[in-house]
Amino acid sequence: MGTYSDAHICHCLNLLSTLRRNSVVTVAGNRPKTGKEFVDRVMGLAHGLLQLGLQSGDVVSIAAFNSELYLEWLLAIAYVGAVAAPLNYRWSYEEAVLAMEVVRPAMLVSDDSCVSWYSKLQQNDIPSLRWHVLLDPSSDFVTASIVNVLTTETIRKQSGRDASLDYCWAPEGAVIICFTSGTSGRPKGVAISHSAFIVQSLAKIAVVGYDEEDVYLHTAPLCHIGGLSSALAMLTVGACHVFIPKFDAKSAIEAIGQHNVTSLITVPAMMADLVSTFRGNDTSKCIETVKKILNGGGGLSIELTKAATKLFPKAKLLSAYGMTETCSSLTFMTLYDPKVDQRKSHSVDQTRGICVGKPAPHVELKICADGSSDVGRILTRGPHVMLRYWNGSLANAAAESSSGVWLDTGDIGFIDDYGNVWLIGRANGRIKSGGENIYPEEVERTLLRHPGVTGVVVVGIPDARLTEMLVACVQIRENWRWVNTSTKDSVANQMLHISSEILLRYCKEKNLTGFKIPKKFIVWKKPFPLTTTGKIRRDQMRGEAMLHLQYLISHL
């Protein structure tokens, strides 16, 4: 249990209810809410949750599109000392169940976003669940398989409104469990403390320059650490939050224009979509209200950076490097600052790596090298580091670190004489595509279940829009034939045919999440390159796959 001196993300409620009392702090559609209205709704929900019987340390899973209700739920859960565990609405049913098996939630809060898997959920699938809650009472959500479904408003209405209620802490000071995939592809619940979110908020305020005058567009989902940490930073300064259910470039551009948005976050795929969509409408115009853009989930290419600065000429453009286990950003780098009218160099050093800037003020980094080089595993420690993996003991969490103190990021790099961090590669082969972490082993296991596939290696190759594009190099079984389009022969013959379309369809049938499905397939007619211990040489595979695709393009 915490004390009055401990950090708590609900500290922001005092600011919102006083200094921002009559100012608009959330906008969703045509529903603006002032600071007082927002705080009253959070407090009403918190009282209702206590009246319902939610206790300190209970886990509440949320699967929903972005909305002001989502933000209210996050704060109300934290206020009563429970722990929020956001689920990715893009997951398959199997992935969602695996995640809930990890955290054993007492409550599941859902909206229409996850109807594809929620409709399959039965009472006994997650024994720990005591309550199912419908986020939006106006939703058409299917709840036929679940009995006793509550709504946000019914919980609010049953609150007793005890004026003496003060916020509480969950054990260990945990507040949010944010999921990331493990090396097996199974969801891992990263337990993050109030303190981690507070210091991350202060770092973003200091480095990016967020303040109460900002109008922040929620482009990243609140189930991702980037969306969560930026939302809490904006709550800390009392900025205005503008919500669209999920990102698409057209809706984002419309919201920017309608609400005079000043700040947003992106991943390279989002920025590419914004640039192409806006330029497609009118190449002579630009967006001048936006003053701050923080890009994560992979670096922006030189071409995309130039296009972004033309689209947002008055925006300070920064890039951040981090991970879920460190509560988002570890380092920041300014790519463009209109006040100095100078683009910072951030290009790839072909011999050394990619510069990701300097550590945030609260972050301590070091390189664990073997002594023969300044290159090694990047380690970090400080208040930003996760408490533990939720389904692992503290000892297991320490095993993920070095000496039980430093967290091993899993990335390989070095720190130059100016304090800049350079990335060279990922120690575990993780692929970053469209802001999502993908582990190739999971995709490979799915494809290997197809009767026509005898071997497969999945790699990520550089892509201007996605950062890395997923490519599957496939070895096909003898007597099977690769075809360029779906065959229209008899069923018997179709069983011996295989194609990109067939494998794409197969991945979907096996409930592989959309962003994990390869964008391209290469028929691999030679042995995969192996190390002396029989492991795939993924770097070599990646290079050969790139050469193969370049060859195909040049011979079109």
Is the domain of 412 the same as that of 543? no
Q: In whole angstroms, give the CA distance from residue 27 to residue 25.
A: 7
Do 407 and 511 lie in one domain? The reply is no
- Sign of the torsion angle spanned by Cα atoms 47, 50, 56, 57: negative
Q: Check residue 350 and give its pLDDT.
A: 36
Q: How many domains does the chain have?
A: 3
Q: Are residues 91 and 162 in the same domain?
A: yes
Token reading at 242: 């503008």
Give the end of a domain, one of 375, 407, 426.
Answer: 426
Q: Between the CA atoms of 8, 10, 13 and 14, what dihedral angle is there, to the nearest 10 degrees?
A: -30
Residues 81 and 60 in one domain: yes
How far apart, in whole angstroms, are the C-alpha atoms of residue 99 and residue 374? 38
Q: Are residues 392 and 471 in the same domain?
A: no
Residue 519: per-residue pLDDT: 94
The confidence score (pLDDT) of residue 346 equals 47
Amino acid at 519: K
Distance from C-alpha of 438 to C-alpha of 24, rounded to nearest angstrom: 38
- In this predicted structure, what is the pLDDT of residue 396? 41
Q: Is residue 330 part of a domain?
A: no
Asked if residue 512 and residue 403 are part of one domain, the reply reads no
> What CATH number has the domain bearing residue 501?
3.30.300.30
Give the pLDDT confidence score for residue 549 in this predicted structure. Answer: 87
Residue type, 335: L
Same domain, yes or no: 390 and 455: no
For residues 481 and 388, state if they share a domain. Answer: no
**Within a domain: 242:** no
Kindly state whether residues 538 and 418 are assigned to the same domain: no
In a domain, 214, yes or no: no
- The reply to whether 137 falls in a domain is yes
Q: Do residue 447 and residue 391 come from a single domain?
A: no
550 and 407, same structural domain?
no
- What is the per-residue pLDDT for 467? 86
139: three-class secondary structure by DSSP:
coil
d(CA 66, CA 71) in angstroms, rounded, equals: 8
Look at residues 392, 426, 460 and tell me which one is the last residue of a structural domain: 426
- The answer to whether the CB of 267 falls within 8 A of the CB of 252 is no
Closest CA to 185 of 421, 495, 525, 515: 515
Does residue 459 fall inside a structural domain? yes
Residue 92 resides in a domain: yes
Read off the CATH number of the domain in which 384 is found: 2.30.38.10
Q: What is the pLDDT of residue 38?
A: 97
68 within some domain: yes
284-298 as b/e: b if 16+ CB within 10 A = eebbeebbbbbbbbb
Answer with the one of 393, 426, 459 that is the final residue of a domain.
Answer: 426
| 3-state SS class at 152 | helix
Segment holding 406, helix H or strand E: strand 406-415
Looking at the structure, tell me whether residues 444 and 397 fall in a common domain. no
> pTM to 2 decimals?
0.81
Domain that holds residue 420: 354-426
Return the structure tokens found at 251. 């809706």
How would you write 157-195 as a 3-class SS string? Answer: HCCCCCCCCCCECCHHHEEEEEEEECCCCCEEEEEEEHH
Q: Is residue 282 domain-resident?
A: no
Question: What pLDDT score does 536 carry?
Answer: 82
Phi, psi of 342 (to 5 degrees): -145, 125
* Mean pLDDT per 10-residue section of the chain, whose length is 556 residues: 74 95 93 95 95 96 97 97 95 90 96 88 87 83 69 85 78 94 68 97 97 97 96 97 96 95 94 86 77 89 89 96 95 93 46 80 90 85 94 49 72 90 77 84 87 93 88 94 64 70 93 92 91 70 89 70
User: What amino acid is encoded at 301 in this protein?
Assistant: S
CA dist., res. 67 & res. 244, Å (int): 7
- Cα(286)–Cα(306) distance, integer angstroms: 13
Domain of 46, CATH number, reads: 3.40.50.12780
